Amino acid sequence: MIKKYLSIVFVGLLIFSADSALIFAQTKTDHNASNVEKVKADVLKRGTGEKKRVRVKRLDGTKMKGYISQAGEDSFTLTDSKTKQSTVIAYRDASRVESRGLAGGAKIGIIVGVAVAAATLIVIYVAFQNAIRNN
């Protein structure tokens, strides 16, 4: 009887130890014309204004935060919210423009992880309560 409950516990532990890299895996993109168009589309989609805060990752690895104050044909202007310092960034120099906060996939991953953890804890609790009653 106890073997049955221990096997349930081990299954729960296996679920927790599963490799979460599959959930958050990302593909690497080539920084060519298609990436330039993607960055430009992201900038135009987000629009300009102080309420539209973004994070920009550049090709050289630097990360910048602020809001897009101006969007042009070949570049956009990122203004730091705290210092009000403006930086002109060419679309070809940016690898990614994203909203501040968690991405949708990350939020879903967290919710699924919490749900699986809660379900596993409930199963373990019920299994041990049944084992205590039977002994």
Residues 6+ apart with CB under 8 A from 116: 15
Q: Are 68 and 12 in contact (CB under 8 A)?
A: no
- Residues 75-114 have pLDDT tens digits of 899 998 888 898 899 988 888 888 776 667 888 889 999 9
- Residues 67-76 have pLDDT tens digits of 888 888 888 9
Is 3.10.310.10 the CATH number for 31-101?
Answer: no
Q: Is the pLDDT confidence value at 27 over 60?
A: no
Averaged pLDDT for residues 22-33:
51
DSSP class of residue 49 equals: S
Q: Are 24 and 112 in contact (CB under 8 A)?
A: no
Q: Are 91 and 36 in contact (CB under 8 A)?
A: yes
pTM beyond 0.75: no
Which position has the higher pLDDT, 123 or 102? 123
